[in-house]
Amino acid sequence: MTIKVGDKLPSVKLSEATAEGPKPVTTDEVFKGKRVALFAVPGAFTPTCSAKHLPGFRQLAGEIKARGVDVIACISVNDAFVMRAWAEDQAVGEDIVMLGDGSGDFTKAIGLEMDATGFGMGKRSQRYSMLVDDGVVTELNVEAPGEFKVSTADYLLAQL
């Protein structure tokens, strides 16, 4: 079942990409008591993700946070080492928390998994953005296959 507005996020272990290396975190630690703008990409270093999705959130981070968002987080079915390398490549700094969902447990739990085996990528996350208040989804923007419209930083900013 796919998560929807009003649902509470499941409690799942993730890995945060930090300068010191991967740090185990739970979704409870990331979302509890916070307003979080979360966006998911099919893969770090992939074309649309690197050219548009992550850069959009990096560029609008100040505006998004100025509208009451405590944390901006990016998640992908990649390990934390890849997410850290991507963050460094994209000069994310401290603006965006990079989360690795290496086994896809979170992605599966919220029903937003996609099969990208035809592209040699295995099981991945659909492209989406969501606003989460204290662990509860208040906005959810899932892209149609091949699209990049409703998960953008601009789109989520307009919802704040």
Q: What is the DSSP letter of 149?
A: S
Scored b (16 or more CB within 10 A) or e, 3-29 reads beeebebeebebbbbeeeebeebebee
Residues 6 or more apart whose Cβ sits within 8 Å of residue 159: 131, 139, 141
For residues 23 and 15, is the Cβ–Cβ distance under 8 A?
A: yes
Active site (annotated) includes residue 49: yes
- Which of these is catalytic: 12, 30, 40, 49? 49
Catalytic center residues: 49
